[in-house]
Structure 1
Amino acid sequence: MTADPSKPRRRRIGWRGAAITASVTVLILGAFAALIASGHLWPNRIFASSHTTRGIDVSSYQGAIDWTVLSSEDIDFAIIKATEGSGAQDSRFAKNWSDAHETDLLVGAYHFMSFESEGATQAQNVIDTVPDAPGSLPVTVDLEFYGDFFDNPPTRTHVRNILDPLLAALEDHYGTPPIIYATPDAYDRYVRDDYPDNPIWIRSVALPPRLSDERDWTIWQYSHRDRLRGYNGDEQYIDMNVFAGTLDEMRALAAQSAR
């Protein structure tokens, strides 16, 4: 059929054009992913900005911390690693705890829970390490997978046999229900539909969190690749968090620990 010269011709992209378009798309997506991986672009920062009470969590990986400098970085609270399992203590906890309490920050401690020792002995490790300081945030139990447990998660019954006595002993000693920190997978397996008195601290570094049982979160860890002034350790990044309420409401949470 002879083409009508009065009508504009449609351009056909063809396989070469499609291949070029696909390559450009891959490059753009790769650059976007690289920016996220480098910590220069993190979508959650936009969503988290609607929450005005911000904080950090740190461990010995952040090295020596100048708490005067770090506390001036537009943060309101700090949660510091204290213990792990039944016998390990973070090498910088005592100094971090003391120095952080010299600032205006609300300060708390966290325990990394092991799946390999009893809850009672883990609780004693926390009690022996973390002072019962009035006005501190409730102790946090960090519930997440590690090592071979990523591929072979322990059963709910196994975890509950550790977690339940650990939480009970810490509440009895410190006078307030501990915070439970969890990844989404750990939350769904071990926490969902239970522990109504324990504040939930959820990790979600890609999108805003939504708990599977529609429960409200108390603290949201929205980034693990921020950079602030005031520390100089092997880990160049620092975890960022927001509190669901106001600073006064977080102070009220801390006041529950006062005796």
Structure 2
Amino acid sequence: MRRLLSCLLPLAFLLTSCTMGYDSFQTASVVKSRFKDTKPQDFGRDRPQRHPIHGIDISKWQGDINWQSVKGSGVAFVFIKATEGKDRIDPRFAQYWNEASAAGLLHAPYHFFYFCSTADEQADWFIHNVPKDVMALPPVVDVEWNPDSPTCRTRPAPETVRAEIKRFMDRLEAYYGKRPIIYTSVDFHRDNLVGYFKDYKFWVRSVAKHPKEIYADRSWDFWQYTSTGLIPGIKGPTDINVFAGSEQNWHNWVAAVKKEGNS
């Protein structure tokens, strides 16, 4: 029996490491937080510091960035705002994109989706502004309600929301060769996404509780756990995220994504 167990345990580990159910992942030991936070939240035992891979998301509000300091702090990936709606581009996108690349940081573009423009209009705008040949990680579609928007506060029916998101993602996947990641907030997910898009990777915002407590029936891959983080090389507060799996899961996924783009 002892010999049988010794054979089965490595196999079980390999099978587990190949799945995408990372939200149940736990490290062998709790590591000390790498980054400071002006308003830290106590997540209890399931704190994000249990995950080894951390990253940030940025837009024009981060201003000038010392990318070597960012990379040296332990940041492993960067989501960079690219476009919004059908006619807006973040004025820092090209700069951040080139600087992150020069620093050797894995990065991906994200698009803030408006429900006052069609999915095709927004896909055309994103494709026009985001180069195809330098896409290392999958593009991201940011879907959330925007009650403070001066131009678009429309809230379509859930069926319309899902159809428009799907059309946009299909366009991007066909062009870039990578299936987009879905970023969302608690209320938008509750109103539109519960039970849907289970074959997509999710990046969820949850700054007060662990995602498993507030995202019904959702396996997540990235967790935005604070908007008040302090990152060396960036002035002011910055969103910090964790990847749900182990370091090996991360390397395996990145390798698989890069292969997709070259196939």
How far apart in 2 are the matches of 1:159 and 1:92?
29
Q: Does 1:43 align with 2:46?
A: no
Residues 16-27 of structure 1 mapped to structure 2, 5 A cutoff? none
Verify the 8 A CA contact 1:44 1:205 in the aligned structure 2: no
4+ aligned runs moved over 6 Å, structure 1: 149-152
Change (3 A) 1:253 1:54: farther
Partner of residue 62, structure 1? 62
2:47 alignment partner, SS class: helix
Identity of aligned residues (%): 33
Q: CA deviation at 1:250?
A: 3.9
Tell me how far apart the structure 1 counterparts of residues 252 and 243 of structure 2 sit (CA, whole Å).
Answer: 9
Structure number with bigger Rg: 1
1:48-197 aligned within 5 A: 48-133=48-133, 136-147=136-147, 153-197=155-199
Q: Which residue does the alignment assign to 2:228?
A: 225
Gaps of 5+ in 2: 1-36
C-alpha deviation, 1:184, in angstroms: 1.4
Distance 1:185 1:216 in 2: 17
Q: Secondary structure at the match of 1:187?
A: helix
Q: Deviations over 1:80-119 (max 9, x none)?
A: 0000000100000001001101123211110000011000
Query: Helix, strand or coil: the match of 1:223?
Result: strand
Work out whether residues 146 and 153 of structure 2, in 8 Å CA contact, stay in contact via their aligned partners in 1.
no
For residue 34 of structure 1, what is the aligned residue in structure 2? none
Q: TM-score, normalized by length of structure 1?
A: 0.78
Distance 1:67 1:177, change over 3 A: same
Q: C-alpha distance in 2, partners of 1:105/1:164?
A: 29
Q: TM-score, normalised by structure 2?
A: 0.77
Q: Summarize the Cα distance change of 1:72–1:250 in structure 2 as closer, same or farther, 3 Å threshold.
A: farther
Tell me if the contact between 1:200 and 1:219 (Cα under 8 Å) persists in the aligned partners.
yes
Verify the 8 A CA contact 1:123 1:170 in the aligned structure 2: yes
User: Equivalents in 2 of 1:240, 1:91: separation in Å?
Assistant: 21
Aligned partners of 1:138 and 1:257 also within 8 Å: no
Query: What is the CA RMSD across the aligned residues, in angstroms?
Result: 2.3
Q: Measured at CA, do residues 81 and 73 of structure 1 come closer, stay the same or move farther in structure 2, by a change above 3 Å?
A: same
The answer to whether the 8 Å contact 2:70/2:231 transfers is yes
**How many correspondences in the alignment?**
219
Distance 1:62 1:257, change over 3 A: farther
The range that moved more, 146-155 or 71-80, is: 146-155
